[in-house]
Structure 1
Amino acid sequence: MSQPPVTRVKDALDPARAAAMAATLDRPRPGPHLPPFWHHAHFWEARPPAELGRDGHPRVGLGAIPDMGLPRRMWAGGRLDWHRPLRLGVPAERETRRLRAEAKTGRTGPLALVVLEHRITQEGGLALVERQDLVYREDPDPDAPRPVPPTAGPAPIEEARSFDAVTLFRFSALTFNGHRIHYDEAYAREVEGHAGVIVHGPLLAEGLIDLATRHLGTLAAFEYRATAPAILGERLAFCLDGTRAFVRGADGRTCLEGMAHAA
């Protein structure tokens, strides 16, 4: 499989977009720096309808994502290493390359793992390195048993939260994420086999990063892994136990787990 060229996207880091993210997340308007993980509201790569897949995402085989013959895309996790804060209103550039693309066989059948690396620079210096782990799978077999997610117990620090359809819509719009599992309930249930509309994994990760930052101070890095979908309207617990962070679902399952590294 040939290595695709490095792609570069420039962005002005418009403060208005950060203000819209603050309103969506019910947070104070930021400035002069962009809060951690809010760079996902920037560096859009908008594609026309002809270049989209059935799920609303850019079609595989374009850019850094190869076509490995598997239709279902999931954001499985990632890692962020912050080198310096991004300043709002100051142009920045994101450079993306594919680190790995490999076919595997998991407990539920064939899958493909694609790992991307994004490096964001501003004013000549490196600000952020982000790794994204993407998993592609076959369509679900309705007769196959569902995988059992790990369970999570209590934590010293917990904050209850749930997300409504408007929040998911606004977050999708701000991050230019067209994946239909986040707004199309019929598609999420009937095509991808979910229990309902799915809360964005990055939205859960952002909540854990915010929780960890408020209790641990500025972070140097944060790594996370998705373990089970969180469903629209579900009562979730955002938890912190030392440097371990996780999101617990209403039934006790772990939806996403992470590790914070203080600066």
Structure 2
Amino acid sequence: MHEDLPEETRQTDVMDPARAAALQISLGLPATIETGSPLPPFFHQIYFWDPEPTTRLGRDGHPATGIGLIPDLGLPRRMWAGGGLEFHEPLRAGITAQKRVSVAEISRKEGRTGPLAFVTLKHELFQNDHLCVTEYQDLVYRQDPSPEATKPAAPVAATDEDHCEQADFTSTLLFRYSALTFNGHRIHYDTEYARDIEGYAGLVTHGPLLAQLLMLLAERRMGALKHFTFRATAPLILGETATLCWKENGDMWIRAPDGRQCMKAKAG
């Protein structure tokens, strides 16, 4: 660990039921959450905001590395690559919760497109001194894309699901999800930045938003979740319909209209 950076951060937040209801409405769900209601899985993403002044943000809108838990890795592009969650007890709306975050691992390697840095953060969420959720968040940092470089081919999604649902996205939904999660990443709202700087075909649908939809689908199919893991494998661009796929063994994935796999997950 970098000697000038903290080993752990702690935050406290009240799990405002109005904010959770706003996410439900944004996702096209009825607003059912009130004080005391168990929060749906992954809804904790809309809490524990940690705003930084503009002067402490990177060019992408995220907090710059080197000022918090994550050291300056010298790589400008940040991606939430995936993660894993263990649900011990439900978090409940209207009750104060505590969050502890630490760096579980930092590693580097040389990829097909240049150097990569991998950071895994460990999040622990407590209510009434009970551990409710343990989450591992996997981040990837990389260089800017070279205009001459060939983009790696996305994996092809399976078509043998037992059940599937369609999900469409609008710029309004992307804006609302960014606002509710206090996510300033410009790839979700700044088309020119997403296209010209980070090399995407357009605005990018949030990986955590896709994971959220998969978790809600899994909960509908199997009841309360005990664990969930997911890995982003290709970006889903605004305007593309996502097919959320489910198998009875808990395997899940997201298929884009051209057949590529955008996310792979496992629910249990």
Tell me the TM-score normalised to structure 1 length: 0.97
Match of 2:24 among 22, 34, 52: 22
How far apart, CA to CA, are the structure 1 residues paired with 2:174 and 2:129?
Answer: 34
Residue 38 of structure 1 pairs with residue 11 of structure 2: no
How far is 1:22 from its partner?
A: 0.9
5 Å matches for 1:237-248? 237-242=243-248, 243-248=250-255
SS in 1 for 2:209: helix
Partner of 1:250: 257
5 Å matches for 1:174-185? 174-185=180-191
How far apart, CA to CA, are the structure 2 residues paired with 1:189 and 1:24?
Answer: 26
AA of the residue aligned to 2:57 = L
How far apart, CA to CA, are the structure 2 residues paired with 1:157 and 1:89?
Answer: 34
5 Å matches for 1:229-240? 229-240=235-246
Residue 91 of structure 1 pairs with residue 99 of structure 2: no
How far is 1:64 from its partner?
A: 1.2
How far apart, CA to CA, are the structure 2 residues paired with 1:108 and 1:253?
Answer: 20
How far apart, CA to CA, are the structure 2 residues paired with 1:91 and 1:241?
Answer: 36
Residue 197 of structure 1 pairs with residue 203 of structure 2: yes
How far is 1:2 from its partner?
A: 2.2
Q: Which moved more, 1:98-107 or 1:83-92?
A: 98-107
8 Å contact 2:230–2:264 — kept in the other structure?
yes
How far apart, CA to CA, are the structure 2 residues paired with 1:66 and 1:101?
Answer: 9
AA of the residue aligned to 2:22 = A
Matched residue count: 261
Runs of 4+ in 1 over 3 A off after TM superposition: none
Residue 100 of structure 1 pairs with residue 105 of structure 2: yes
How far apart, CA to CA, are the structure 2 residues paired with 1:144 and 1:105?
Answer: 15
How far apart, CA to CA, are the structure 2 residues paired with 1:139 and 1:178?
Answer: 18
How far apart, CA to CA, are the structure 1 residues paired with 2:52 and 2:260?
Answer: 36
Partner of 1:110: 115
SS in 2 for 1:187: helix
8 Å contact 2:164–2:244 — kept in the other structure?
yes
SS in 2 for 1:153: coil
Partner of 1:81: 86
How far apart, CA to CA, are the structure 1 residues paired with 2:142 and 2:235?
Answer: 15
Partner of 1:2: 2
Identity rate, percent: 51
Residue 224 of structure 1 pairs with residue 226 of structure 2: no
Partner of 1:126: 131
> Deviation per CA, 1:210-238, whole angstroms, max 9, x where unpaired?
11110011110000000000000101101
Q: Structure 2 unaligned runs (5+)?
A: none
Residue 214 of structure 1 pairs with residue 217 of structure 2: no
RMSD: 0.9
Q: Structure 1 unaligned runs (5+)?
A: none
How far apart, CA to CA, are the structure 2 residues paired with 1:38 and 1:221?
Answer: 14
How far is 1:164 from its partner?
A: 0.3
SS in 2 for 1:86: coil
Tell me the TM-score normalised to structure 2 length: 0.96
How far is 1:106 from its partner?
A: 1.3
Residue 140 of structure 1 pairs with residue 142 of structure 2: no
SS in 1 for 2:226: strand
5 Å matches for 1:153-164? 153-154=158-159, 155-164=161-170
AA of the residue aligned to 1:189 = R
